[in-house]
Amino acid sequence: MWDLESFKEIKTLTNHTGQVNSVDFSSDSLKLASGSSDKSIILWDLNTFEEIKSLKKHTDTVNCVRFSPNSKYLVSGSSDFMLNVWNINDFRVFKQFTIENGSILTLCFSSDSKILVTGSTNKQINLWNMETFKPIKTLDGHTDSVTAVSYNPNGRMFASGSNDKTIKLWDSETFKEIRSLQSHQAQVSSLIFTLDGKILISGSLDTTVKIWGLTGFEDLKV
């Protein structure tokens, strides 16, 4: 952990026994979650930097963890094809979903916490209603594993990135593809929107970071 005023290391957390694949802060900044190849998720207290709880329900690598923006849930995706929804008050799984023939590589929430988006090795994007805990839609469009997803803060679209080197923009109401962005030369490994929702930033295994303007969907800078 790093202090962003002094740019000095605050603390090193070492309780995992395998590669750490994903980390996320709770929106109240009180907890940190980390997911690992050791099949566990660790919740950390950000005041003491001590482990609160080690969560062990997955049977394979934990690839992604995310707190809901309303801080009610922690969701984890794994190579065991399972999506677990954890109650962060009692640390129990109260909902579990199976992705057919797909390791879950990435996930994100809408800013209102009502929709969860997941991407998997089965090339599909799954959307889930987090009020009813029922599936909304399965989207096909990529030709390889979906490796990154991000929801625009304005709520009108979300983005997916893939091992097929493309980024796809999706309408969050109709779930139709708006645009396919093709500029990277390798897997798209990360995606994030700016807080005003006007710019999308993508990172790739081709060693580049690309900045996309969402008015004309042009590649602004490499």
The CATH number of the domain holding residue 159 is 2.130.10.10
Residue 132 lies in a domain: yes
Domain with 182 in it = 99-221
pTM for the predicted model, two decimal places: 0.92
Cα–Cα dist 194/173, whole Å: 20
Per-residue pLDDT averaged across 138-142, rounded?
Answer: 96
Residue 33 lies in a domain: no
Residue 64 lies in a domain: no
Is the pLDDT confidence value at 189 over 80? yes
User: Residue 219 carries which side chain, given as an amino acid letter?
Assistant: D
Residue 196, pLDDT score: 92
Confidence of residue 167 (pLDDT cuts 50, 70, 90): very high
Q: Contact, 124 vs 131, CB < 8 A?
A: no
User: Residue 74 carries which side chain, given as an amino acid letter?
Assistant: L
Query: What are the residues facing 135 on neighbouring strands?
Result: 128
